[in-house]
Amino acid sequence: MKKFTLTVFCILAGCIFFLSGIWVYFQKSMDKVDLGEGEYAASYQKHYLMISNDKDTLMWQSIYQSASETAKEADAYVELLSPEQMKNYTQEDCLRIGIASHVDGIILEADGSKAEQKLIEEAAREGIPVVTILTDDSACRRISFVGLNSYEMGSAYTDQIAGMLNEKGTTQILFLSTSSSKTQETNLVYYQVKKELESRKKTGQSVNLSEYCVDSSADFDTEEFVRDMFVNEESLPDVLVCMDEVVTECVYQALVDYNQVGNVKVIGYYYSDVILNAIDKGILSSTIAMDMDEVGKYSVNALEEYLSLGHSNGYYSVNQHVITKDNTDEYRTEGEK
């Protein structure tokens, strides 16, 4: 009798163990992100949402590609969502979609609005960690910020500008940004440059540093402002520092259109094939770019660290690169080399 009871118990225990294994496997399968069928079929344990302001720029493409590659190693999938690709949707709407979809993490460029702060708060309550990149909002419940080191980038700009100062007299320097690129971080860069130039200028040299932010809420506002500045030659500075990729390309075109090449020294922001060609031709002096590959990589690392440990490094500083005639080929796409 005892032997029979023991046999039945072992059979029942085996069945329970087997069924438990099937249940665990089923649950894991349900948790995976299904990416369809066919050649590109894949499934992942985690689903991250990246919300971009402009998915079509080279800058955002670099961020997304790097984030995707890093996530793949952690069995995660990064979905790129942009208000630009979803007509009549705002960045807040994209955040709501991520929260309603119960994604495992969200990556976005913060805009500092109260509505966005409330949504990030809601995401935190739902257990969805949010990482801000490029632009921070320390007032919200984001778990980490990935962006520039204002001190190092300010020093990089200062190194370039210092060699452009007039030997005698005043050098007029204008920092030009747009409402979409003007952030607390770029403000810190501006004041860092101002501080360093004052200490590095030589006897007889004077520096007049100013900044202007173009309202880019409407189409062509940036192009119109740059055109008007070049038409009115009296408003042209000696050195023009662009804090935005779009501004850089607009200034490059205006230099050519209004025959001002050589009259204004220009430092650009980030790079594209157009900007690299302008540097090779001597139209732009140089350009400074954050390492967007690091932005994508670190943003995923922050989410992974938080999900595995329950906390994350609150700040990831990325490197920047100075691009001149000597190294433009290193940044060209394969088709342009």
Least confident of 61-65, 178-182, 255-259: 178-182
The average confidence (pLDDT) of the chain is: 84
CATH topology of domain 150-290+325-336: Rossmann fold (3.40.50)
β-sheet bridge partners, residue 240? 174, 266
* Calpha distance 295→58 (Å, rounded): 13
β-sheet bridge partners, residue 211? 175
H or E element in which residue 101 lies: none
Residue boundaries of the structural domains of the chain = 43-147+292-318, 150-290+325-336
* Calpha distance 84→52 (Å, rounded): 9
Whether 25 has a pLDDT exceeding 80, the answer reads no
- Calculate Rg over the CA atoms of the chain: 26
In terms of Cα–Cα distance, which of 88, 79, 82, 72 is closest to 106? Answer: 79
Whether 36 has a pLDDT exceeding 60, the answer reads no
Identical fold for domains 43-147+292-318 and 150-290+325-336, yes or no, is: yes
- Only one residue has tokens 């038409």, namely 231
> Nearest 10 degrees: CA dihedral of 273, 277, 283, 287?
50
H or E element in which residue 189 lies: helix 184-200
Residues 221-231: pLDDT tens digits?
Answer: 888 889 888 88
Model confidence band, residue 9 (pLDDT cutoffs 50, 70, 90):
low
User: How would CATH label the architecture of 43-147+292-318?
Assistant: 3-Layer(aba) Sandwich (3.40)
Distances (CA, A) of 74 to 142, 291, 297: 21, 22, 12
pTM of the predicted structure, to 2 decimals: 0.80
Least confident of 123-127, 150-154, 206-210, 332-336: 332-336
